[in-house]
Amino acid sequence: MHALTRQQLILLVLLTVVWGLNWPIMKLGVTGFPPLTFRALCMWIGLPVLAVALKIKGIPFRIAREHWKEVALLAVANMFFWHALVVLAVQSLSSGRAAILGYTMPIFSALIGALVFGQRLPSRAWGGVAAAALGVVLLLWHEITALSGRPTGVAMMLVAACTWALGTQLMRRTTLPYLTLTIAFWMTVLTTLWMSGLATVFEQDRWAMPSLPVWGSIVYNAIGVFAFAQVAWLALARSLPPIASTLSVMMIPVLGVFSGAWWLGEILHWQDWTAVALVMFAILTVLLPARAKGADA
């Protein structure tokens, strides 16, 4: 298994807080506002901030022509489906439960790693996946009836989670000779164009000036999610083994559930608290270093 460095741990904590709080913020942002347009605006504002970060750090922007195909593939798997489907689904689902469905990603990632890439996982990792899956079931306990009436939203979140899981596996295995920030910038550029095209085709007749709360949500997403969290996640996904990086972010939907309950008044049950313990166990299974063989000797 894999022990986190101090820098990775700091990134993980900040990523968890920023992304976890974003679920109720995003729910507020898309309520009564075209969701695809919302996402496109977030990305257009966040993209220059990300460009300035590269410039300050002196990181080159250039991608060689022969590598653009792989960059595009990474963008499709990691961003295209995720950002489009999530922002559509969150309109019909509660923010916390949408987060839980989205973070079934570690389960899909483990399955894809084992079935597609032949990744051999220790029993401890499979125990973590099982704990995370049980935590998701418990968190959805009181939502099954409601979700059954919203199959489209549920399906979109699960497809988004599955494609993101594939993207995580591909990101870990990429051999592109560029820093993660450079790759993340151009993936974001391609996704911004993709989201803008979708918004133009499907929502142009509903375009209107965002209200002040919507602008607040847009700015939070632009700075917190696209200029920081997305890049931090890609850095973790590229530097950590897939199972460690995916299960390590399982606290994000938990934070999403509880922040949504505090902010939006959703009621919590014993299943929610039990799920927290299961998710913490899932995280520990992949982040605690394994005991070396022969250590007693």
* Cα-Cα end-to-end distance for the chain: 21
Judge whether 195 and 83 are in contact, CB under 8 Å. yes
CB neighbours (10 Å) of residue 149? 9
108: left (phi over 0), alpha (psi -120 to 50) or beta: alpha
In a 10 Å sphere around its CB, with 0-12 CB exposed, 13-18 middle and 19+ buried, how is residue 32 labelled? exposed
Tokens linked to 163: 């494609």
Whether 261 has a pLDDT exceeding 60, the answer reads yes
In whole angstroms, give the CA distance from residue 256 to residue 182.
Answer: 29
- Non-local (6+) Cβ contacts of 9 within 8 A are none
Q: Tens digits of per-residue pLDDT, 26-37?
A: 999 999 899 999
- Non-local (6+) Cβ contacts of 104 within 8 A are 133, 136, 158, 161
Assign 296 a pLDDT band (cuts: 50, 70, 90): very low
Q: Which amino acid is at 12?
A: L
Tell me the average pLDDT of the chain.
Answer: 84
Residue among 96, 269, 91, 62 nearest 182 (CA): 62
Tokens linked to 93: 């689902």
- The predicted pLDDT at position 163 comes to 96
Q: What percent of the chain has pLDDT over 70?
A: 85
In whole angstroms, give the CA distance from residue 214 to residue 269.
Answer: 30
Q: What angle do CA 292, 293, 295 make, to 5 degrees?
A: 70
Q: Tens digits of per-residue pLDDT, 49-64?
A: 999 999 999 999 999 9
Q: What angle do CA 129, 78, 73 make, to 5 degrees?
A: 125
